[in-house]
């Protein structure tokens, strides 16, 4: 008999649904079906895959409000944020459709190195096989489309494993994929219990794993996956730097949007703010003024800016991190208030550079401010973290921007914007414990493909 699990609304703890985990027999049958579907999927012309993905974009657009409502109920994300997520998901499907037509290789002249002249190498990209796509709770539709879209565009079959909290929205998405024309032997959803994940990740019928989530889970995947190709998009402890020449109003707005939206539950949230002494007081005062006016409450209310975190245990963990920072001398400029799964926007000052909140990732609406006078002071502090995903800087000093771009351990540095900047056709990913490989539709297609060369 399959194990059962319940999904609760983080806002009011109402029951959203009761479901059964997939048994191991069901998982193996699903993998066998996807393996059998590989020849058909490889033989499907790129133009047909592109047309399916274009229809998926249309269906996501038509059903955006229903899916946004589901996202809000499942995750506690505000309805405004959920609508933005659906716009991103539509864009991801459109980009996947367009990139499906643009997969191209190259021709190489063997005479470049003697004595191998007289031959031409035709290099093509081919699908890996079956991709296991594992998604987190915080962007259940957008991240799923960022995986399913390029995996399908590349000609792979897909085993989709969402977070259990997102069961209903994931089922809705898969139904839309089928309606768009994806064959059932090209895409399947499964929900094995945690105890079965190691043997799923190790299964010989899985050819690659595309995972977004935490570093601990990624280490477990890497430990058992063997020679499979891994695309791991993990956490971040992303810095936002504000220099004396910054537009303070724009910097404050970015800080709020990139930290307090989605209740701070983003890998690219502005998790550490480094404010130059010359503008520190002005920045802090305006930040506290604007953040204190944010509406906290029912995520279905369009006026709400901060909803609950995913569950009460997560809120308690955030509170412990804040308390640890306070024990090391930090002070509260705003917030430090908790009600159930709600963490009110919190701003901390005088935070020790080696405190947990500055070194590790805090997945919630807490913003530590660090005052500095010289850039050389903050570079080692920023790099003294296991993570290196993205960063942001507010400055018009191009020489400084170029210097920090080279010095900081990040995959992307956004200028006059927050570290949460992402668009579908840019590469996305980090260094160190922030992951392996790159997402972004074109780049993800390459990650989920291999080169094959014809010599003629």
The answer to whether residue 8 sits within a structural domain is: yes
Give the model confidence (pLDDT) of 417-426 as tens digits: 999 999 999 9
| Tokens 């993905």, located at residue | 53
Q: Work out the pLDDT band at 118, boundaries 50, 70, 90.
A: confident
Q: Work out the pLDDT band at 259, boundaries 50, 70, 90.
A: very high
My answer on whether omega of the bond before 313 falls inside 30° of 0, hence cis, is no
Kindly state whether residues 170 and 315 are assigned to the same domain: no
The answer to whether residue 429 sits within a structural domain is: no
Kindly state whether residues 53 and 188 are assigned to the same domain: yes
Kindly state whether residues 197 and 281 are assigned to the same domain: no
Closest CA to 214 of 70, 93, 310: 310
Closest CA to 367 of 299, 270, 246, 441: 270
Kindly state whether residues 210 and 272 are assigned to the same domain: no
Kindly state whether residues 414 and 444 are assigned to the same domain: no
- For residues 388 and 410, what is the distance between their CA atoms, to the nearest angstrom? 4
Query: Structurally, how many domains does the chain consist of?
Result: 2
The two structure tokens encoding residue 248 = 């303070």
Q: Average pLDDT, stretch 29-58?
A: 98
Report whether 385 contacts 401 (CB < 8 A): no
| Tokens 């983080």, located at residue | 10
Kindly state whether residues 191 and 249 are assigned to the same domain: no
Report whether 216 contacts 363 (CB < 8 A): no
The answer to whether residue 428 sits within a structural domain is: no
Report whether 318 contacts 326 (CB < 8 A): no
Report whether 427 contacts 440 (CB < 8 A): yes
Pairing of strands 390-394, 387-388: unpaired
Task: Give yes or no for residue 2 having a pLDDT over 80.
Answer: no
Q: Work out the pLDDT band at 332, boundaries 50, 70, 90.
A: very high
The two structure tokens encoding residue 81 = 């944020």
Give the CATH number of the domain where residue 78 resides.
Answer: 3.40.605.10
- For residues 354 and 342, what is the distance between their CA atoms, to the nearest angstrom? 27
Residues annotated as part of the active site: 233
Q: Give bridge partners of residue 132 from the DSSP assignment.
A: 159, 209
- For residues 88 and 71, what is the distance between their CA atoms, to the nearest angstrom? 14
Task: Give yes or no for residue 110 having a pLDDT over 90.
Answer: yes
Kindly state whether residues 329 and 411 are assigned to the same domain: yes
Kindly state whether residues 264 and 287 are assigned to the same domain: yes
The answer to whether residue 160 sits within a structural domain is: yes
Mean pLDDT across the chain: 97
The two structure tokens encoding residue 162 = 């969402």
The answer to whether residue 257 sits within a structural domain is: yes
The answer to whether residue 96 sits within a structural domain is: yes
Give the CATH number of the domain where residue 304 resides.
Answer: 3.40.309.10
The answer to whether residue 244 sits within a structural domain is: yes
Kindly state whether residues 289 and 195 are assigned to the same domain: no
The answer to whether residue 86 sits within a structural domain is: yes
The DSSP H or E segment spanning 149 is helix 142-153
Residue 397 lies in domain: 238-423
Cα angle value 297/299/301 (rounded, 5°): 85
Give the model confidence (pLDDT) of 169-199 as tens digits: 999 999 999 999 999 999 999 999 999 999 9
Report whether 434 contacts 234 (CB < 8 A): yes
Q: Average pLDDT, stretch 64-75?
A: 98
Kindly state whether residues 224 and 343 are assigned to the same domain: no
Q: Give bridge partners of residue 209 from the DSSP assignment.
A: 132, 230
Kindly state whether residues 313 and 196 are assigned to the same domain: no
Q: What is the pLDDT of residue 308?
A: 98
Q: What is the pLDDT of residue 1?
A: 58
Closest CA to 98 of 52, 156, 50: 50
Kindly state whether residues 202 and 275 are assigned to the same domain: no
């Amino acid at each position: 008999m399959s194990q059962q699990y319940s999904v609760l609304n983080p806002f009011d703890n109402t029951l959203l649904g009761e479901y059964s985990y997939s048994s191991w027999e069901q998982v193996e049958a699903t993998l066998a079906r996807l393996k059998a579907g590989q020849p058909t999927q490889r033989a499907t012309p790129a133009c047909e895959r592109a047309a399916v993905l274009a229809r998926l974009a249309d269906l996501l657009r038509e059903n955006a409000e229903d899916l946004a409502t589901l996202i809000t109920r499942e995750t506690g994300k505000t309805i405004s944020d959920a609508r933005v997520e659906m716009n991103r998901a539509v864009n991801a499907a459109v980009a996947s459709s367009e990139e499906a037509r643009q997969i191209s290789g190259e021709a190489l002249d063997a005479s470049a190195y003697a004595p191998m002249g007289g031959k031409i190498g035709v290099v093509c990209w081919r699908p890996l096989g079956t991709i296991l796509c594992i998604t987190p709770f915080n962007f259940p539709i957008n991240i799923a489309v960022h995986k399913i879209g390029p995996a399908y565009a590349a000609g792979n079959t897909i085993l989709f494993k969402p977070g259990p909290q997102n069961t209903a929205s994931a089922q809705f998405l898969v139904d839309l994929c089928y309606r768009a024309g994806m064959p059932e032997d090209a895409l399947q959803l499964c929900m094995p219990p945690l105890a079965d994940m190691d043997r799923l990740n190790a299964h010989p019928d899985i050819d690659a794993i595309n995972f977004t989530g935490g570093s601990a889970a990624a280490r477990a995947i890497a430990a058992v996956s063997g020679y499979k190709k891994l695309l791991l998009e993990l956490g971040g402890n992303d810095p936002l730097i504000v220099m004396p020449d910054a537009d303070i109003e724009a910097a404050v707005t970015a800080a709020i949007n990139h930290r307090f939206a989605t209740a701070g539950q983003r890998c690219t949230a502005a998790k550490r703010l480094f404010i130059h002494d010359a503008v520190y007081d002005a920045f802090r005062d305006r930040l506290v003024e604007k953040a204190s006016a944010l509406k906290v409450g029912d995520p279905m209310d369009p006026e709400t800016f901060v909803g609950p975190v995913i569950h009460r245990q997560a809120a308690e963990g955030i509170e412990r991190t804040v308390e640890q920072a306070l024990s090391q001398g930090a002070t509260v400029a705003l917030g430090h208030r908790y009600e159930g799964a709600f963490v009110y926007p919190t701003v901390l000052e005088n935070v020790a550079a080696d405190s947990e909140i500055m070194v590790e990732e805090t997945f919630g609406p807490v913003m530590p401010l660090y005052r500095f006078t010289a850039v050389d002071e903050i570079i080692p502090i920023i790099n003294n973290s296991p993570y290196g995903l993205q960063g942001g800087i507010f400055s018009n000093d191009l020489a400084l921007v170029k210097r920090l771009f080279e010095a900081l351990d990040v995959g992307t540095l956004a200028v006059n914007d927050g570290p949460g900047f992402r668009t579908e056709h840019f590469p996305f990913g980090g260094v160190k414990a922030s992951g392996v490989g790159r997402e972004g539709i074109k780049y993800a297609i390459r990650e989920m493909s291999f080169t094959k060369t014809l010599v003629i």
